[in-house]
Amino acid sequence: MSELIALESVSVHFDLGGGGLFGGRRRILRAAEQVSFAIAAGETLALVGESGSGKSTLGNVVAGLQAPSDGRLRFHGAPLDAVGWRQARRAIQIVFQDPFGALDPRMPVSAIIAEPLLIQGGSTARQRRDRAAELVEQVGLPRDALNRYPHEFSGGQRQRIAIARALAPAPELIVADEPLSALDVSIQSQVLNLMKELQERLGLSYLFISHDLAVVNHLVDRVAVLYLGRLVEIAPREELFARPSHPYTQALLDAVPRIGRRRARGHVIKGEMPSPLAPPPGCVFHPRCPKAADICRTDIPTLGAAPGRADQLSACHFRE
């Protein structure tokens, strides 16, 4: 499989101000710290982690909505600079969590869906109308949806509209930022199936962001686990579910109730994720880690292969 997009030690820091002429401490929020991973063509990578772990931030970086403070991106092997982005804008699209905020209430569905084509230019109004009509059917909406306005649709239908919009410029990668979590459970599986079907038909890649490991199981090839802006583990789905290498992943899996599987490890993570304004020294997970030792409080663990599994990487001094 060929590499589609790659992040090379990407960091995102938000400057929350202070430290100016009138004093106050300068506050830097480290939303993502030295994150590297790659997505292959046709592959689905899940990005999981607790709320505030930096999933959306990284999703925004990949979608070109957030410039990294440090690090680089590659797309098809070429660096994503100003020129590179101009090409990549078409190829990378995004679907958001909240289907109510994602569609302009004043635009008819046909205009919403064709918007990326309008923005990127080079298409006639007629072409855009035809494309919108084609896409409405592809995502399973009735054709007469085209002339309606977003408020006439339910959450699941709106999410289909958002997906149709993302598909409009025939992208290679769709960043889906928790696309299911605002939907009813019964609707979730429909949208998930739609995404899967589209992937098979169109050969898409997804960066699928989720805080819920259970959802991920149905769709993805590989899983990347984030904690406090750091990538702590990345592995193929089966291996990660079968033998999680990082204590945090283990704890996450333990928290997922699954039928026919008794709780192997008893430890549930205690406490809350620290503030990304003041990350702990050493391994950022150490205040909550059941296996923490002295070295964890001082030395930052690097990402490395788990014993005997070359494509399962984790960042822990005592990786399993």
Partner 1 sequence: MSATTDLAPPPRTDAAIGPWRLRWRRFRRHRTGMASLVILALLVLFALAAVPMQHLLGIDPDATDLLSRFDPPSAAHWLGTDDAGRDELIRLMVGGQISLLVGLVATAIGGVIGLLIGVTAGYFGGRLDALLMRITDGMIALPLLPLLIVLGAVDLTKLGFSSDFAHSTAASFWRIIIIISIVDWTSIARLVRAATLSIKDRDYVRAARASGAGASYVMPAHVLPNVATPIIVALTLTVGRVILFESVLSFLGFGITPPTPSWGNMLNNAQELVTTAPGLAVYPGLLIFITVIAVNFLGDGLQAAFDPRSEQ
Ligand X SMILES: Nc1ncnc2c1ncn2[C@@H]1O[C@H](COP(=O)(O)OP(=O)(O)OP(=O)(O)O)[C@@H](O)[C@H]1O
According to CB under 6 A, which one of 34, 42, 48, 54 is a site residue for ligand X?
54
Query: For residue 24, with 0-12 CB atoms within 10 Å meaning exposed, 13-18 middle and 19 or more buried, which class applies?
Result: exposed
**Per rule CB under 8 A, is residue 72 in the interface with partner 1?**
no
H/E stretch holding 119? helix 109-120
What string of H, E and C letters represents the secondary structure of 227-241? ECCEEEEEEEHHHHH
Q: Which option in Mg ion, partner 1, ligand SF4, none does residue 250 bind, with CB closer than 5 to 8 A by kind?
A: none
Residue 276 is a binding residue for ligand X (CB under 6 A): yes
- Residues 267-286, interacting with ligand SF4 (CB under 6 A): 283, 285-286
HSE value, Cβ hemisphere, 13 Å, CA-based, for 220:
29
| Element at 307 (helix H, strand E) | none
- The amino acid sitting at 193 is N
Beta-strand runs (E) in 59-218: 70-75, 78-79, 92-95, 173-177, 205-210
If one asks whether residue 157 binds Mg ion (CB under 5 A), the answer comes out as: no
Closest CA to 207 of 31, 11, 73: 73
Which of 153, 285 has the CB closer to ligand SF4? 285
* C-alpha span between 159 and 153 (Å, rounded): 10
Report the residue from 85, 291, 304, 309 that binds ligand SF4 according to the rule CB under 6 A.
Answer: 291
Residue 227 engages ligand SF4 in binding (rule: CB under 6 A)? no
Residue labelled with tokens 């101000």: 17
- Closest to 234 (Cα-Cα) out of 35, 43, 9, 80: 35
Structure tokens at 196: 């899967």
Give 294: exposed, middle or buried? Use CB within 10 Å, 0-12, 13-18, 19+.
exposed
Question: Is there binding between residue 216 and ligand X (CB under 6 A)?
Answer: no
Q: Which stretch binds ligand X (CB under 6 A): 52-60, 104-112, 247-255, 297-305?
A: 52-60
Q: Which does 64 bind (CB under 5 to 8 A by kind): partner 1, ligand X, Mg ion, none?
A: partner 1
Minimum gap (Å) between residue 154 Cβ and partner 1: 6
101 contact choice in Mg ion, partner 1, ligand SF4, none (CB below 5 to 8 Å, kind-dependent)? partner 1
31's contact among Mg ion, ligand X, ligand SF4, none, with CB below 5 to 8 A by partner kind, is ligand X
List the single partner that 157 binds among partner 1, ligand X, ligand SF4, none, CB under 5 to 8 Å by kind: partner 1
Q: What's the min distance (Å) between Cβ of 274 and ligand X?
A: 11
Q: Does 49 bind ligand X (CB under 6 A)?
A: yes
Q: Is 56 in the site for Mg ion (CB under 5 A)?
A: yes
Q: Stretches 183-191, 244-252, 270-278, 292-300: which one binds partner 1 (CB under 8 A)?
A: 183-191
Binder of ligand X out of 20, 22, 51, 200 (CB under 6 A):
51
